[in-house]
């Protein structure tokens, strides 16, 4: 059955913790490698996971990432508790960034994270509500 | 060229001696914007950058880069270096600017 998950993992992502940011994506990569997902797919999922994780760390008040896998798909969700994105189609544009100066100094803020995710995933859905939060779901076809 | 061959050249020193230096460098990337590197990077690349913080290691690990080359005497703090060692990623110090480092790599045959 398509909704019978072989894997279901959850990772907390803390706001502004640049040192820990990347740990969830590293765990996701390790998990996928361990179960034998092919390396090209692992690479795409890892890139998307990293960008989603860093966005939660840099732009949000904190959130979580969820990794799900059934026979056909690997699903990656990134959910946070706000502040939400006022104009999602603007945020999706390559080069658009509101990253603060502190983050830009570290090399974040190219405005390429969301476009990177979209490019890597077979299906990419983002919904965001100001004051509530942002939810991203990415589906990666296994077969 | 291998990481080992690179660090045998003048101007390049290995910062974490426990790293895997037998890795082959098959291509390079020179950029200080992390998500740009995320988008354009590929396995077995040498990454030339001035960035030295923890996320540099995270990006290098996710891409299976063969090494990180820090230009113009930039250095990582001990905890970042320890993380790179744990992950087996070689960190190489150089006094040269990024531009010249890339020239040396390219001249040594590192190109796709
Ligand atoms: N989880 C989020 N919560 C609030 N705003 C977000 C979130 N994710 C993205 N954004 C907004 O969308 C913009 C574009 O995001 P994107 O990841 O493409 O670029 P960036 O994070 O600014 O830079 P880069 O990812 O290249 O380092 C961000 O600058 C921010 O304004
Ligand atoms: Mg981003």
**Residues B48-60: tens digit of each pLDDT:** 999 999 999 999 9
Contact B89, B5 (CB under 8 A): no
Task: Kindly state if the Cβ of A79 falls inside 6 Å of ligand 1.
Answer: no
Pairing of strands B27-30, B45-49: parallel
pLDDT at A106 > cutoff 80: yes
With residue A108 as reference, give the H or E element that holds it.
none
pLDDT-derived band at A115, boundaries 50, 70, 90:
very high
Using CA atoms of A111, A117, A120, A123 in order, give the dihedral in degrees to the nearest 10.
-140
Bridge partner list, A7: A69
- The pLDDT assigned to B48 comes to 98
Average pLDDT (A112-141) is: 98
Residues B77-97: what's their mean pLDDT?
Answer: 96
Q: Are A26 and B32 a contacting pair at CB < 8 A?
A: no
- Using a 10 angstrom Cβ sphere, with 0-12 exposed, 13-18 middle and 19 or more buried, the burial of residue A1 is exposed
Please state the rounded mean pLDDT for residues A59-71: 96
Spatial neighbors of A129 by CB under 8 A, at least 6 apart, are A84
In the block, which residue shows the tokens 């590929």? Answer: B42
Rounded Cα distance, B80 and B98, in Å: 20
> What is the pLDDT, as a whole number, of residue A18?
87
- How confident is the model at residue B66, as a pLDDT? 97
Q: How far is the CA of A110 from the centre of ligand 2 (A)?
A: 8
Residue A57 has a pLDDT of: 97
Best of B30, B35, B51 to disrupt the A interface (most A CBs within 10 Å) is B35
Query: How far apart, in Å, are the Cα atoms of A51 and each of A64, A107, B101?
Result: 13, 13, 28
The arithmetic mean of pLDDT across residues A69-92, rounded, is 96
> What is the chain A residue with the closest CA to B32?
A107
Compute the average pLDDT of residues B15-37.
Answer: 96
- Indicate whether residue B35 lines ligand 1 (CB < 6 A): yes
pLDDT tier, B67 (very low <50, low <70, confident <90, very high otherwise): very high
Burial class (CB in 10 A: 0-12, 13-18, 19+), A60: buried
Residues A51-60: tens digit of each pLDDT: 999 999 999 9
Provide ipTM, 2 decimals. 0.90
Residues above pLDDT 90, as percent of chain B: 99
Give the atom of ligand 1 at the shortest distance from the alpha carbon of B38.
Answer: 26
Q: In whole angstroms, what is the distance from residue B84 CA to residue B110 CA? A: 23
Ligand 1: atom nearest CA of A80 is 1
Q: What's the rounded mean pLDDT across residues A93-105? A: 96
The whole-chain average pLDDT of chain A stands at 95
What CA–CA distance (Å, rounded) separates A93 from A79? Answer: 20
Flag whether pLDDT at A2 surpasses 80: no
A69: which strand partners?
A7, A74
The average pLDDT across B62-90 equals 96
């Amino acid at each position: 059955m398509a909704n019978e998950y072989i894997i279901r993992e959850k990772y907390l992502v803390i706001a502004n913790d640049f040192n820990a940011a990347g740990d969830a994506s590293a765990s996701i990569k390790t998990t996928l490698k361990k179960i034998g997902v092919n390396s090209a797919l692992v690479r795409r999922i890892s890139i998307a996971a990293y960008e989603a994780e860093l966005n939660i760390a840099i732009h949000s008040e904190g959130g979580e990432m969820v990794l799900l896998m059934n026979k056909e798909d690997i699903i990656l969700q990134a959910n946070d508790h706000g502040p939400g994105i006022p104009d999602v189609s603007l945020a999706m544009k390559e080069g658009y960034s509101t990253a603060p100066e502190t983050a830009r100094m570290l090399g974040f803020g190219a405005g390429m994270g969301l476009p990177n995710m979209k490019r890597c995933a077979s299906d990419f859905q983002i919904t965001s509500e100001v004051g509530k939060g942002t939810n991203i779901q990415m589906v990666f076809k296994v077969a | 060229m291998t990481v080992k061959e690179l660090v045998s050249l003048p101007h390049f020193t290995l910062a974490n001696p426990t790293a895997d230096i037998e890795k082959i460098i098959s291509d390079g990337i020179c950029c200080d914007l992390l998500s740009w590197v995320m988008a354009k990077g590929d396995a077995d690349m040498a990454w030339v950058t001035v960035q030295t913080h923890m996320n540099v290691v995270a990006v290098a690990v996710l891409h299976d880069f063969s090494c990180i080359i820090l230009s113009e005497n930039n250095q990582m703090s001990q905890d970042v270096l320890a993380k790179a060692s744990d992950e087996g990623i070689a960190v190489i110090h150089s006094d040269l600017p990024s531009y010249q480092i890339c020239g040396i790599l390219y001249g040594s045959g590192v190109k796709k």
